[in-house]
Amino acid sequence: MTAPEYIIVGAGSAGCAMAFRLAEADRTVLVVEHGGSDRGPLIQMPAALSYPMNMGLYDWGFQSEPEPHLGGRRLATPRGKVIGGSSSINGMVYVRGHAGDFDHWAESGASGWSFADVLPYFRRMEAWNDAGHGGDPDWRGLNGPLHVTRGPRSNPLHTAFVEAGRQAGYEVTDDYNGKQQEGFGPMEQTVWKGRRWSTANAYLKPALARKNCSLTRALARRIVIENGRAVGVEVERGGRVEVLRAQKEVIVAASSINSPKLLMLSGIGPARHLAEHGIEIVADRPGVGQNLQDHLEVYVQMAASQPITLYKYWNLWGKALIGAQWLFTGKGHGASNQFESAAFIRSRAGVSYPDIQYHFLPIAVRYDGKVAAEGHGFQAHVGPMRSPSRGEVTLRSSDPKEAPRIFFNYMSTEQDWEDFRTCIRLTREIFAQTAFEPFVSKEIQPGHHVQSDAEIDGFIRDHAESAYHPCGTCRMGRADDPMAVVDPQARVIGVEGLRLADSSIFPRIPNGNLNAPSIMVGEKVSDHILDRSLAPENLTPWFSPRWQNAQR
């Protein structure tokens, strides 16, 4: 059998997009994925989102090291181990990020990744299906593989949340993925015809329908490098270790956790750390595994005074009813992730674009499926977008089967604590607006007794959770930047024939959920591989004219 031109390690958000684009351009592609099939209702039904990310069948099951600033807690770090990767187990929320995020990337050394450069790729990947519901059609893509929709927003609490934001003096935006991110408005989701529209459905399955794209289930152990060039991947499948060879390039797209691990196992990383594990050094890149970032959030939960929340379905009979309706019609509550209203706001004057995100949910429940004891309730997930804290991913050993050591170093600066206190106080103010008067009975958490800085800090320490947005561990930068891992063409610095394309290359975490920018990376890097590019689009994004002097 002839070796493929390209091997992609990881059938996740970026990997699936690259497989599609390379195969479409008549290149031969082999995708290596350790996880299995995404068939089954627990992945495909949007409302079942809390299940797959807590199942060993679909999730790598990573945990952080004890976090010293969060009382020594270990936080779950789910990553998809299934075709579609984390796009098959995530919350399906679709956020591009703010224009200012990508301009910052370019300023940090990722030339060619400014907002004007990446906007054409966001448009190419999208099939935006709500052109008749407000929003900015000029800023959106209509014919891409990735369907983006909005939930029905039929629960009155979704309207109340946006109206409360307006009453509190904030902007309202019809399309946070369009010209104006800042404000309160509808949230978007990667759902199509009632199904999770993962990158497996959008990109990989159409790619595999071509003769020049194939998929193999195997655990990638290391990149095979000969004379300074990546020539293949050593994998284990069916209990046998073998080498799969590539004619042109190996592309690592294994996640912000597994990509740095694979590079280090292959001899690419901090020389001293690799030597500690007896790994022969191919390229001394001290930035591999460093610069780990994430979004941390808390749930501000309110008890509802009316039985209008999704809690009425939070029982065996209710879940069976929703499941049956979805199974037979593809409609009903099962067809939405329930995140249907959102907001992006600025924490204070002098911040040029939003640094706080809200997900609003018409039930008081955690990601692990535990509901509030009070029964009917609703919640806002809130957290700062640009924490200054940085962590790392390092090896525990040279055994490819051993999970890496993940240390986020959450809340390690005073700025983190100030920003989080602000998040909680601003959220309380929003829930105190007249729009919520018919619906609120009391605050469940943090609880009315939690008021002082010290009390709020204690709540954060005990209750902050990851939003599951790890990134940045192999950051992109100038080729002469000693801490950069890949150059602006996503080529691993110091090794020929090797690229890396997933959320690990983000120089800094963007606003919002990371699935959309991860897919965009796959789209754009595929064009770098094919030596082509889309022309920049110089649309002017909205920044508040009052940002220097006012918080809202």
Annotated binding site for FAD: 82, 90-93
Provide the sign of the torsion angle of the four alpha carbons 87, 90, 91, 95, taken in this order: negative
Contact 42, 52 (CB under 8 A): yes
Other Cβ atoms closer than 10 A to 245: 14
- Pairing mode, if any, of strands 229-237 and 219-226? antiparallel
What is the spatial distance between Cα 305 and Cα 89, in angstroms, rounded to a whole number?
33
Whole-number Cα distances in Å, 236 to 225, 241, 257, 421:
17, 4, 19, 48
CA angle at 514 for the pair 16 and 474, rounded to the nearest 5°: 80
Positions at the binding site:
82, 90-93
Query: What residues have CB less than 8 Å from 547, skipping those under 6 apart?
Result: 346, 349, 350, 351, 352, 353
Which residues are paired to 466 by β-bridges?
296
Instruction: Give DSSP secondary structure letters for 480-548.
Output: T-TT-SB-TT-BBTT-BTEEE-SGGG-SSPPSS-SHHHHHHHHHHHHHHHTT--PPP--------TTTT
Which residue of the set 34, 295, 381, 469 is catalytic?
A: 469
Residue 528 bears catalytic tag = no
Write phi, then psi, for 32 (nearest 5 degrees). Answer: -105, 120
Provide the sign of the torsion angle of the four alpha carbons 80, 487, 178, 205, taken in this order: negative
- Residues identified as active-site: 469
